[in-house]
Every structure is written in C-alpha cells, then in structure tokens.
Structure 1
Amino acid sequence: MFKNKRGRKMGILLIITLAAAIAAAVIVSLPQFGRLPRGERLGRIQRSPNYRDGQFRNLEASPMMTGDKSRIRGMLEFLFRDKEGLRPETEIPAIKTDLHALAPDSDVAVWFGHSSYLLQLDGRRILVDPVFRAGAPYAFLNKPFKGADAYRPEQMPDVDYLVITHDHWDHLDYRTVTELKGRIGKVICPLGVGEHFEYWGFDPAKIVELDWNEQAAPGDSFTVHCLPSRHFSGRGLKSNRSLWASFLLQTPSRQVYIGGDGGYGRHFAEIGRRFPGIDLAVLENGQYNEAWKYIHTMPGQLAQAAHDLGAKHIMTVHHSKFALAKHRWDEPLKNAEALAADSTLHVLRPVIGEVVALPDTSPAPPPDAEPA
C-alpha cells in the first residue's frame, strides 16, 4: 500500500513538473521573447573578445547578486516586497507634445519616462529604448505609473535611427518596435540584439550591430561608437547571449553619450578621456538596490560617473514610469535634485514630454577689434 501511494505521488509530481516544463517552453517561444543568436551572427559573437565560456562578460567582475542570497531568494523577496511608496498616489506630470511638429533643424531632447527618449541632433532623429506598450513580457505584470503612459508608438515621428542599449524588457518592447517598423531608418544595437529584430521581420540591411569599441557611420557626418557598460542581458531562460552597451553619438556639432543601464565602473573615466567635451550624457538613475550594486548605478556613484565623463550637461533616466526596485518611486527625482546642487554639473530635469533645447555648441564670436 505504501509503495503504491508513494508511486502515485511521484507520478503526480512528474506530471506537474512535465506540464510546467511544457508551459515554460511554450511561453518562451512566443514572438515577444525574441530569438537567441544563430548562424553567422553567432559565429561573430563567438569571435568577440568580450564573449567567453558561452556568455558575454563585463570588463570588471560583476556578480548579479551580492551577499549570501541566491538569485531565486532575491527575486522572491523582490516580488513580495513592501509596496508602500513604490508607485505614486497621483498622476505623474506629463506634457503632451506634438512630436511631428518639432522643427527639424532644432537640437532637442524629449524624455518619455524610464529610459525612452527622442533626440534631434543636426537634423537627425534618434529614438532610444522606446517602451510604449509593456515593460515586461505581459503588460499586467508591471503597469506604468498613471501619466507616464502618455505616449504611444503612433505619436512618434519617423526616425533616422532607433538605438537599443540591450534586450531587457524595459528597454526593448516587441510591440513598440514592431509598430514603429515602417518608420525607422536604421536600427543601432549591440552585438546579438539584431537577432531579435531579424526574427521580428526587420530588414537585416537596416540593422547596425556593434561590439564594444567598434564604430559605424550609418549616415553622412554621423558616427556612432559602441562602448562598454556594466550590466547583463536576456529576455528568456538564458542570460548574456547578447551584448549590452553604451553609445557615443557624434555629429558635426555635438557628442552625446547614451549610458544605457549599468553599474559604476572604470569605463566612465576611460570614455571621458577618449571623448573629451561630451555635450550631453544620459545616465541611469533608478531601479537600483544594494543587492545588485554592480549592475546598476547607486545614488552615491551618480555624481562620480558624471564627473568621470566630463560631460557639459547631464540628464538622468530609468525612473518615473515602472517600479522595478525597492526604493520609493520619487527617490531618483531627489537624486537628480541633489546632483543639480553640484555647481560643477549642469543637470537637465525635464518633465515627461517636455521639449528641452540642447545648449548651443557653436563657438562664441570673437570680440570686436579695439579701435586703433
């Protein structure tokens, strides 16, 4: 009798385990999960100096979780954390701007909450990490704050370049990019991320895919440098099969640094030395936690990163739309306020949808000649 009962229990457990495995396989095969690199792209990845033992690696040792907690335990604590203060009680302020009416010759930045923003630089439009539908596999898992969902793909103008810093859900949204597909000139992304776009029907000839310290000139007088960041990647069951990156955009009159996601590291100072005179640096500020301090910038490191880059102006992102960490939703806004108190830094703090004119970079006219 005992053996029969035990056998039945083992059989039930086996069926449950098998059903769960099948369900997981079905879920991750849905198109929004993208696809792991294959073919020539995989060959290029395997030849990368940043890819070792089957994964991309950071320049510095960067454990995902610190302390003695396992990743699963940390995730459970995160899911069942105290929810007080994680989301605003009132609607986030936002300005509804007609983006199609922006003067094409104006150099501006428009932030849409979290890490999504539009840049106009020397007549080119660059859309960065747009997430206008869902920042998770399913929208109900992490809804945007009220007011922070003011923009949708159809409100975006045609863009010359779509820049994706890595393939996490809160930076690469399947529905957003596929709805924008017909209005994107070229996609600029780190090595491996192009596999998702090809899988989603994008023309491979329009995908510019770069490894760290590679550069491309996808347009006349426009150069993009792919640079390191300290983070990780992955949309499904496997991590770090595609690269994560920051980017430096160079136009005839400007240098703009797109920081992406990542922890503080020596790469900031190296980038600052390599590209002196950065006009604007867009830096991560939010969704941090002491438990993952190596892969997200902590508040006390934000000013140092800004100084290391030597940027003339700073704008912080990765906040004010989703609750992805344990800190209060408005803590990053206070971090930006504290950063702005540093008289050596010039911090832009736009409201969602606000058009921010980028400072003039033309040299000052020479003084009038002294009378003889």
Structure 2
Amino acid sequence: MSQWKSPNFKNGTFHNLSPTEVMSKDASFLKILLRFFNKPKSVNPPKPLPSVKTDLLHLVAGENPVIVWFGHSSYLIHHNGSNILVDPVFSGHASPVPFMVRAFPGADAFKVSDLPPIDILIITHNHYDHLDKKTLCQLKPKAVYTALGVGKDLPFAASLVTEMDWWDTAVYAEGIRLTAAPARHFSGRGIKRGGSLWASFVLELPGGFKLYLGGDSGYDTHFKTIGDKFGPFDIAILETGQYNTDWPMIHMSPEEAVQAAQELKAKVLLPVHWGKFALALHPWNEPVIRTTAGALGKVKVTTPRIGEPVILNVSYPADPWWEF
C-alpha cells in the first residue's frame, strides 16, 4: 500500500504528534556507534539475573488479571482463561544478528515452549527488541493486533492480523477491547524509517480492568490525553530504560515515566524496557533505581523479578532484587 489513509502519514512516512528528532541536533552517529561498541562494564549485571520460573500453563484463573514480565518489554497478561502476549522476544538477542545485542545471563529464563496457548498477540512496533521474528514463527496466536504497516513484518496470515491507527478500537471478545493510542517514537528495521506506525495500547478486560501498554515512547502531551480519555488505569506498563541524552525525544527518563504514570492516572506503575538488553550506556539497574526513587509519594511501583507474577489488586512484588 503506497499511501495510508491516516492523519499520521504525510509525505511518505509516519509522524509523531509533536516534531520529534530521533537524535539530538548535536549528536554524532559515529560517536554514538563507537560508544555503543565500547560500553562501560556497568551496562551488564555482575552476575546472572534471578528469576521465578512460574508455571505459565497453570496460572491462577481468578477474578484479577495476572501479569508476568519476561524482561525488557515482553510480558504475558492472563485473565479469565485468556492469554495476551505483548512484544515477545525469546531468541536471546534484540538485533538483526545474534552477536550484537545479547540477553543478560539469567534474563532468558523463559522460552516459547513455556508459554500457554496465546489468544491475543500485541506488537507495538517493528523494532528488533519488540518484534522478534524467530520468536513469532513459533507462535500460533488466535489474533494479532499491531500498528499500521507492521503486518508486512509479521510471519502470520493477513487474516489473523488487525493493523490499527491511533484511536482505533477493536473488540476481541465480550469484555476485551483494545484501543491503539499515540506514542512518541519511530519505526524501521533497516535504513528506512517511518514506513510503519508505532503505538501504545489501552487494554480493557472483563470486570472493568484497564491496563495501559506503553510500548516505546518519549515523553509528550499524549499521556495526559490518554489519561483524560481512558483513565484511571489499574496499571501502566511504561518504558523506563535505554534512555540517553543523544536521543531524549524517543525514550523517557525514569522520572518522565513517573510523570507519565501520574498523567495516565495509573494506580500502579510497572517499569519495563530494562533488565534484559543493553541498548544504552547507563548502568543496567539504573532505570529501576531512579524509577522507584522518583515515584516515592507519587505513584505505587511494582518491580517483579523476571517471571514473578503481578496480580492486580492482590500482589505487587517490590523487593529490590537488583541490589546484588
């Protein structure tokens, strides 16, 4: 399709709501590349990460949704017998070639074979740390929801895939509604950028539960807009890692994520986009340290180990397990 009928598509590419530079004006791509291949030792944990090997095939089917985080931005949501999987990356790397961005030791505790049957697969955008074809080829979801243009990168029949523009709503089953919402980011799996859209999602589940699935996003006014339209949320799952002063507009700092959670009117913040891959230069556990510190007195934060269940209104793990 050469032309998308979307207000977010102009001059052959998708755009953010606000003018957004992928790199800051004074950033040098060559210097960034050199720093990336000479990262400080602190970007990696000093020993294998701990995890909880939850039996995903027999999650408690109570009245409250269960969330199991797999590190970075991959997680499973289980509720009333339905399984919703978001941005799964189980191949052990988040790059076009395996040796570039490898998972931390211990962070790959789960494989596709550990997953229950998947009803809904959500892919927020097509970057390698969110859309992992090796993982997706092993999945057989009943339905796939993603942003406009991402379908061409997915190994599924077109009949399974629903591509959504910002503010589009889809109903999967009674009580399960999904609305695509804005995010401030970009797309691309090669040299060309902006050929597909990126999105966050509002997930409404039976029992009146509302979850905000943030995907990747820099801070902007869309969080308040979403909070006003759909809030309050029972939980906001927001990126808090892989930030850098060289790309301040496309990823949030931990403090900005706390501000976004407040504007979303979230009861709880689950920080993600950390704990599995080193895509920036900050210490591996700095995102969660800054998030928990910045959220004191502002919003409740849950910090589960990889594989440790979060149960809405019941259990919000908060042990500082990253303090080795």
- CA shift for structure 1 position 89: 1.3
Aligned counterpart for 1:259 among listed residues 180, 190, 214: 214
* 1:338 has 2:293 as partner: yes
Match of 1:291 in 2: 246
* 1:305 has 2:267 as partner: no
Match of 1:275 in 2: 230
Match of 2:76 in 1: 118
8 A Cα contact 1:51 1:57, kept in partner: yes
Matches of residues 66-85 of structure 1 in structure 2 within 5 Å?
A: 66-70=24-28, 72-85=29-42
Larger Rg over CA atoms: 1
- CA shift for structure 1 position 219: 1.9
Closer, same or farther: CA 74–299 of 1 in aligned 2, 3 Å: farther
Deviations 1:45-73 (A, max 9, x none): 2x211011111000001101113234x32
* 1:91 has 2:65 as partner: no
Closer, same or farther: CA 58–74 of 1 in aligned 2, 3 Å: farther
* 1:347 has 2:301 as partner: yes
Q: Which amino acid aligns with 2:192?
A: K
8 A Cα contact 2:258 2:291, kept in partner: no
8 A Cα contact 1:245 1:260, kept in partner: yes
- CA shift for structure 1 position 74: 4.5
Q: Secondary structure at the match of 2:201?
A: strand
Matches of residues 155-304 of structure 1 in structure 2 within 5 Å?
A: 155-180=114-139, 182=140, 184-197=141-154, 200=155, 202-252=156-206, 253-304=208-259
Aligned counterpart for 1:322 among listed residues 277, 280, 293: 277
Give me the whole-angstrom Cα distance separating, in 2, the residues matched to 1:74 and 1:192: 32
Closer, same or farther: CA 221–268 of 1 in aligned 2, 3 Å: same
Give unpaired runs (5+ residues) of structure 1. Answer: 1-38, 361-372
Q: Which amino acid aligns with 1:73?
A: L
Give me the whole-angstrom Cα distance separating, in 2, the residues matched to 1:357 and 1:65: 38
- CA shift for structure 1 position 340: 4.4
Deviations 1:328-371 (A, max 9, x none): 001012023214422x41111100000111116xxxxxxxxxxx
* 1:149 has 2:104 as partner: no
Give me the whole-angstrom Cα distance separating, in 1, the residues matched to 2:191 and 2:271: 30
Name the structure with the higher helix share: 1
Give me the whole-angstrom Cα distance separating, in 2, the residues matched to 1:315 and 1:177: 24
Q: Secondary structure at the match of 1:65?
A: coil
Give me the whole-angstrom Cα distance separating, in 1, the residues matched to 2:161 and 2:189: 19
TM-score by length of 1: 0.81
Give unpaired runs (5+ residues) of structure 2. Answer: 315-324
Aligned counterpart for 1:109 among listed residues 36, 44, 67: 67
8 A Cα contact 1:129 1:163, kept in partner: yes
Closer, same or farther: CA 74–191 of 1 in aligned 2, 3 Å: farther
